[in-house]
């Protein structure tokens, strides 16, 4: 199953990439499982699991970590941001 993953703000900077297309292994069925799979890559990816108030959108709709992920979905991760 292939999904497009987007990273924004500080995550984009930390990971050195704003997006990737990934073929997920069997067993990755939810946003939370996807986050954990990516975080298991080690540093700097582990920030996905440790960032407080991490927001996630699937196909441009804000969702919870228990939301299913389907082939062709766009999953975006947003760290908390402030402006001024």
CATH number at residue 41: 3.10.20.30
In a domain, 12, yes or no: yes
In a domain, 83, yes or no: no
Report the DSSP beta bridge partners of residue 57. Answer: 62, 76
Measured CA to CA in angstroms, residue 29 lies from 2, 25, 38, 57, 65 at distances of 12, 9, 13, 15, 10
Prior bond of 44 cis (ω within 30°): yes
Query: Cα dihedral sign for 42, 61, 29, 17?
Result: negative
For the chain, the domain total comes to 1
In a domain, 39, yes or no: yes
pLDDT at site 45: 94
At 58 the three-state DSSP class reads strand
pLDDT at site 60: 97
In a domain, 53, yes or no: yes
Q: Are 3 and 75 in contact (CB under 8 A)?
A: yes
| Residue 32, domain extent | 2-78
Single pTM value for the model? 0.91
In a domain, 24, yes or no: yes
pLDDT at site 12: 92
Q: How do the pLDDT tens digits run along the chain, 84 residues long? A: 899 999 998 899 989 999 999 999 999 999 999 999 999 999 999 989 988 889 999 999 999 999 999 999 999 999 887 565
In a domain, 84, yes or no: no
């Amino acid at each position: 199953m292939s999904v497009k993953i987007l990273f924004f703000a500080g995550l984009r900077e930390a990971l050195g990439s704003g997006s990737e297309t990934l073929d997920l292994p069997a067993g990755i069925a939810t946003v939370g499982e996807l986050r954990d799979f990516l975080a298991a890559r080690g540093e700097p990816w582990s920030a996905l699991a440790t960032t407080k108030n991490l927001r996630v959108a699937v196909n441009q709709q804000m969702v919870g970590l228990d939301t299913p992920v389907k082939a062709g979905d766009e999953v975006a991760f947003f760290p908390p941001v402030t402006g001024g």
